[in-house]
Chain A
């Protein structure tokens, strides 16, 4: 099936099984598996979503849920330069603006990187080369995709630094990353990723390594820039506060799969998956009484080699016994529509979940 759709994509003849997508970015049944000595690590195991230009998708989940692996997969960075490592096994389809990336020529995907799709990384200090000035690194990013001389590219770099709010950009452009503060570095990183006006921007934990005081500024900046450039943005985070700030849609990942997906306000105010309830319960809030404890999600993230059978969340789910016949431990739940543009993968009936949410969970939050 996967092989078939790949060949079809390669000759550009989408058929009924794989119609050309209408969305700007469409990921279909993406699987990223890593062979290791201990077994096959199924980091992403069947993920699908769409994203339109000008919209922001927040991908939320705990460490090891497959968020970053997904983003690197879209960028094609699992296959570029993996010297001597065992190759990641990637299947599914990733359509970016009408092009299927997984079956495309790797050099074509390379040319899209940085120009059509760009990425902001978690720790800007380690993500910037310590031996080159900020300016040199931005100029390099620009000149890969634009045939201009260094002077023009430098002017562009200064312009971008100015745009992301770095004071005295014409001077700071000659500084090295270690001469910038953490927040400034992340601004420079954003300037670098936006220098080619990419249509897709992936921000992988963009504020996790920053001071709390700076986090809000960076989030504001990303939101403003998105409005200005009209790009599609994917924000990857474990911090629900970040997606609340930015995202139009939210995708909750657990054990390499999507467990709930929908518009942000739906996922926040009418979540229909017990794992999402757990995430919301463990989020600190100022309006909560200080005497009340946070409600952590019990247990630890699932092994990605031996994923629990049935619903991957069942060992940690307080409601695993609500559905009959032990179905949560034997059958893997598929995403099912629970509202308009709102899906969740849970064996409990819609009514059961509505009742638990309104009666047991929501009052405690």
Chain B
């Protein structure tokens, strides 16, 4: 770096935009390595463990009444007889470059990204994932907006009015939210608002068909899912806020003569956000992989529902595909959180 008049070298540039960029590159690289490892490990879990357990994957593909010739053909076509490392490599290559399955004259080309075919419907996995992913993403993001707004607001208010009637009330509701399972709150909300009062039609409508229909169908799932998370976030926000309000630098902010609302907004909230962000990254990542309970309760055709069906039907490739999508989502969410961390907390950039 040349020592220009504006940005001289030395300690002054530490923690600047350059440091954020370097930090970002490190994280990206780590995420890529992680992804490769995850693909390999997950594939091994799904295709090798059945083998050791004495379950013939080819047999489960063809069905119980299959004749040995058909089973053998499947075994060859899916490469199940190949050595482990070849299988892993083929699968890995398929995701990025596509893959051709061939057994004698029977040739099937699966273009990238190839996650294989469903054992039951013989559909390619990737279109199944892309069909269902938007449903789950919409559910997770919509709920996240709701729980962030209400969870943070309730948490901050409770902290600022500690011991008040509001605080006690909010914390009791939050305790209920944390303790009640989704299939209870979900069914209850369906019973009241859909079947009882008839306010909302509990029917999933794809976003591209009708925006208002989509919103109408998603309100109950959003609220149900958000209730659980808002409760957790309210509790964490309240505890963190109370801790931060006792910090010396909050006293310093007051000693400067800052108005109390500014002390809260500018000084206390910013520190409170750090643990909230960590939680958000983990929670969003996990939810994007499928909110199984919520999707099942409200019959949403998302990834969670797909994986539940797949587990019932022993449809390994679908389970594998959804698991990989989940891992990817968690990875990306964590990456975003890490970057936001570096933006929020300058101390992170150095390490």
Contact = CB atoms under 8 A, between A and B. Distances in A.
A121 B258 contact: no
B260 A81 contact: yes
Interface string B4-46: 0000101110111000000000000000000000000000000
B258 A140 contact: yes
A131 B247 CA distance: 13
A172 interface: yes
A121 B259 CA distance: 20
A290 interface: no
Interface string B160-198: 111110010000000000000000000000000000000
A26 B124 CA distance: 84
Nearest to A116: B257
Given A84-B167, A144-B257, A145-B257, A178 B347 contact: yes
Contact of A84 (B163, B263, B350): B163
A171 B10 contact: yes
Interface stretch (A122-130, A224-232, A342-350, A357-365): A122-130
Contact of A126 (B247, B259, B346): B247
B162 A84 contact: yes
A57 B163 CA distance: 39
B252 interface: yes
Counting chain A CB atoms within 10 Å of each CB, which of B8, B14, B251, B270 scores highest?
A: B251
Given A175-B11, A176-B15, A129 B267 contact: yes
A123 B249 CA distance: 10
A129 B271 CA distance: 9
Contact of A81 (B10, B161, B263): B263
Contact of B161 (A84, A110, A126, A175): A84
A118 interface: yes
B249 A110 contact: no
Given A83-B245, A179-B11, A131 B257 contact: no
A129 B253 contact: yes
B131 interface: no
Interface string B238-268: 0000100101111111111111100100010
Contact of A131 (B12, B259, B345): B345
Contacts of B161: 83-84
A66 interface: no
A75 interface: yes
Nearest to B345: A131
B255 A114 contact: yes
Given A83-B245, A178-B346, A179-B15, A113 B162 contact: no
Contacts of B251: 77, 121, 127
Contacts of B253: 129
Interface string B186-221: 000000000000000000000000000000000000
A77 B250 CA distance: 11
A141 B245 contact: no
B159 interface: yes
Contact of A176 (B242, B247, B347): B347
A80 interface: yes
Contacts of B346: 130-131, 133, 176, 178
Contacts of A126: 247-249
B264 to A, nearest CB: 8
A163 interface: no
A251 interface: no
Contact of B259 (A110, A123, A127): A110
A131 B270 contact: yes
Interface in A38-80: 75, 77, 80
A221 interface: no
A118 B255 contact: yes
A101 to B, nearest CB: 13
A171 to B, nearest CB: 4
B112 interface: no
A129 B249 contact: yes
Contacts of A80: 254, 260
A129 B252 contact: yes
Given A130-B249, A130-B347, A131-B344, A81 B254 contact: yes
Nearest to B250: A81
B248 A83 contact: no
A256 to B, nearest CB: 21
* Best-surrounded residue of A77, A123, A140 (most CB of chain B within 10 A): A140
A131 B14 CA distance: 14
Interface in A288-313: none
Interface in A159-215: 168, 171-172, 174-176, 178-179, 192-193
A175 B255 contact: no
A118 B162 CA distance: 29
A113 B257 contact: yes
Contacts of B15: 175-176, 179
Interface string A128-160: 111101000000110011000000000000000
B248 A127 contact: yes
Given A83-B159, A176-B15, A121 B252 contact: yes
Contacts of B258: 114, 140, 144
Interface in A262-318: none
A110 B255 CA distance: 8
B256 A141 contact: yes
Given A84-B164, A129-B271, A131-B345, 5 more contacts: A77-B251, A81-B254, A84-B162, A130-B345, A193-B255
Interface of A: 75, 77, 80-81, 83-85, 110-115, 118-119, 121, 123, 126-131, 133, 140-141, 144-145, 168, 171-172, 174-176, 178-179, 192-193
Interface of B: 8, 10-12, 14-16, 159-164, 167, 242, 245, 247-260, 263, 267, 270-271, 344-347, 350
25 contacts: A75-B255, A81-B245, A81-B260, A83-B245, A84-B161, A113-B254, A121-B248, A121-B252, A123-B248, A126-B248, A126-B249, A129-B252, A129-B271, A130-B249, A131-B345, A131-B346, A140-B258, A141-B257, A144-B257, A174-B16, A175-B15, A176-B347, A179-B11, A179-B15, A193-B255
List the 6 shortest-distance A-B pairs measured between CB atoms, nearest first: A84-B162, A114-B257, A171-B12, A113-B257, A126-B248, A114-B256
